[in-house]
Amino acid sequence: MPYSYGVTARSQAAPDAVFSALTHAATWPRWSPIDSADIENGDPEDRQQVGDTRIFRSGRSVSRERIVELIDDRRFVYDNVSGPFRSYRATIDLTPAPGGGTHITWSATFDPKMPLSGGFWRWYLTRFMQRMADGLAAYAHG
């Protein structure tokens, strides 16, 4: 059974600044709980493209995520391709906020591998991703 979560944040930065932070994996440890970021066959300082796989480390946890859709300054979509999920797709939508800035919506649907763990993952991911969205909003504003 698929589960989902969604969180929101507002940045004073324009959508292009928020999108730039998302598409440069090297910035993620600066604004999130992630300890380090690498790119398979690439440089985390470069702008990532559809098909790139990012490797994030937080403590002993390692996550591999493949970018599956990019719409400049509007949408960033990735699949988690390792870890405790049969499937996991996250979408980060950016919309101009009234009066300036960017409204960030970070949501995902996922299917955990372990039976009966979906409620825990929804609880955990909602809190973790709220920290991600809040950190992104603050970082992009500089």
Tell me the pLDDT of the chain (142 aa) as tens digits: 799 999 999 999 999 999 999 999 999 999 999 999 999 999 999 999 999 999 999 999 999 999 999 999 999 999 999 889 999 999 999 999 999 999 999 999 999 999 999 999 999 999 999 999 999 999 999 8
**pLDDT at position 83:** 85
**pLDDT at position 59:** 92
Distance between CA atoms of 136 and 46, rounded to whole angstroms?
Answer: 18
**pLDDT at position 66:** 98
Distance between CA atoms of 117 and 113, rounded to whole angstroms?
Answer: 8
**pLDDT at position 47:** 97
**pLDDT at position 1:** 76
- Is the Cβ–Cβ distance between 88 and 80 less than 8 Å? yes
Sheet of 85-96: strands edge to edge? 3-11, 102-112, 85-96, 75-80, 61-71, 53-58, 36-39
Query: What's the whole-model pTM score?
Result: 0.96
How far CA 4 is from CA of 34, 108, 133, in Å, comes to 21, 5, 16
